[in-house]
Amino acid sequence: MAAPMELSCWGGDWGLPSLHPESLTVMAYAKFSGAPLTVNTINNPWRAPKGDLPVLVSEDIVISQPAKILNFLRKQKYNADYDLSAKQGADTLAYIALLEEKLLPALLHTFWVEAENYCSVTKPWFASRIAFPLRLYLPGKMSREALNRILLTKGGPPLYSLTEVEAQIYRDAKECLNLLSKRLGTSQFFFGDTPTTLDAFAFGFLAPIYKVCFPRVQLQEHLKQLPNLCRFCDDILTCYFRLTVSGHSPAGQDTADANLQKLTQLVNKESNLIEKMDDNLRKSPQHPPRKLTTLKLAAGGEESSPMSRLSP
C-alpha cells in the first residue's frame, strides 16, 4: 500500500542482523510494526545519501536518523505504539533518554575507544567490510568521533583523566542496566506482551553488548547477570529475526543453514562408514568394536584416515 521502502545499514555478525545500535533499532521497529522494508547491508556510509547510516529511502524521501525514521514509519501507519496509553508513551521517551545518556557512552567506549577491543575486534571487522581505501580512514574516524562524544558530554571536571571518565561511564551504564532490568521485571516486553518503540531501542543498545565477543567484556558480564534482559534479547532474535526470507537473511540464518548442511554431511559420512564397517565386520570378525569411537571422532574431519584404518 505504501511505496517500497529501502533501509541501508551496517551488516551484522555473531548472530545479530547488524552491529550498529541505531541500525538494529530501526530493523527491530520495522519487524515489530510489520513494515515491509528491504534491508540492504552497505558497508560504505559515504555511498549513503546523507553520509550516515542507517538511512531509509522511500521514493524521493531520504531520512537518516533513527528517531526520524521511526516517525516516518509511524506516519505511514506502521505504528508499534498503537496500544500504548499516553503515560506509557511519555515513559518511552524518558527511558530512551536514559538509554542515550547512560548506556550509549559505555557502548561507544566498549566498541570504539577501549584499545584492546578496538584493535582486535571492531577495527578488523569494519575494515574487512569497507572497501579499500576507505577502510584505512573510516574506522579511525569513527573511533575519534566516539571518543570526542564521550569526552564532551561526560568528561568535564571533576573528572580530569580518561580513566576517571571511563570509570564513571561504566558505573552509569551498569546502573542503567539495573534500572532497565527492574523495569522489565518478568514481563516479556517493556509494556506487556507486544513490543513497542522502547523495546526496539532497548534491543538496539543491548544486543551488541550481549552478543559481540570482545576481549574486555565488563559490560557484557554485568548484562549476563541480569537474566531477564538476556532473555529479552534472545526472544526478539528468535521471534523476529529468524523468520526472514533468504533474500536478505541475517547472518544468523546463514550460519543455521551452514550448520544444517554440515550436519547432513556428517550424517551421510557416518552412514557410509557404518555400511563399510558392517561389510568389513562380516569379512573379518576379529576387528574389535572400539574402532567405532575412532570412526566417530574422525568423521568430523577427514574421511580418508578411517578408511585406511579399516582396510586390512
Partner 1 sequence: ATLCFQAFLQMCNLPIRVICRANAEYMSPSGKLPFIHVGNQVVSELGPIVQFVKAKGHSLSDGLDEVQKAEMKAYMELVNNMLLTAELYLQWCDDVTVEEITHPRYGSPYPWPLNRILSYQKQWEVRRKMKAIGWAGKTLEQVLEDVDQCCHALSQRLGTQPYFFNKQPTELDALVFGHLFTILTTQLITDELSEKVKNYSNLTAFCRRIEQQYFEGHDKDSSTIAARSSKRSLLR
Q: Could you list the residues that contact partner 1 (CB under 8 A)?
A: 65, 86-87, 89-91, 93-95, 97-98, 100-102, 145, 148-149, 152-153, 156-158, 175, 179-180, 182-183, 185
Smallest gap, in angstroms, from Cβ of residue 186 to partner 1? 12
Smallest separation, CB 148 to partner 1 (Å): 5
Least distance (Å) between residue 264 CB and partner 1: 48
Which CB atom, from 140 or from 298, has the smaller least distance to partner 1?
A: 140
Q: CB-wise, 183 or 216, nearer to partner 1?
A: 183
Going by C-beta distance under 8 Å and a sequence separation of 6 or more, which residues neighbour residue 249? none
**Is-contact 30 62, C-beta < 8 A?**
no
Q: Which is nearer to partner 1, 158 or 301 (CB)?
A: 158
Q: How far is the CB of 100 from partner 1 (least distance, A)?
A: 7
Answer for the pair 273, 295: CB distance below 8 angstroms, yes or no: yes
Please report how close the Cβ of residue 84 comes to partner 1 at its closest, in angstroms.
Answer: 11
Q: How would you list the strands of the sheet with 55-58, edge to edge? A: 37-41, 5-9, 55-58, 61-63
- Distance of closest approach, residue 203 Cβ to partner 1, in angstroms: 17
Rg for the chain (alpha carbons), in Å?
24
CB of 57 to partner 1, least distance (A): 19
When the beta carbons of 92 and 122 are compared against partner 1, the nearer one is 92
Closest CB to partner 1 among 89 and 140? 89
Between 100 and 116, whose beta carbon lies closer to partner 1?
Answer: 100
When the beta carbons of 86 and 115 are compared against partner 1, the nearer one is 86
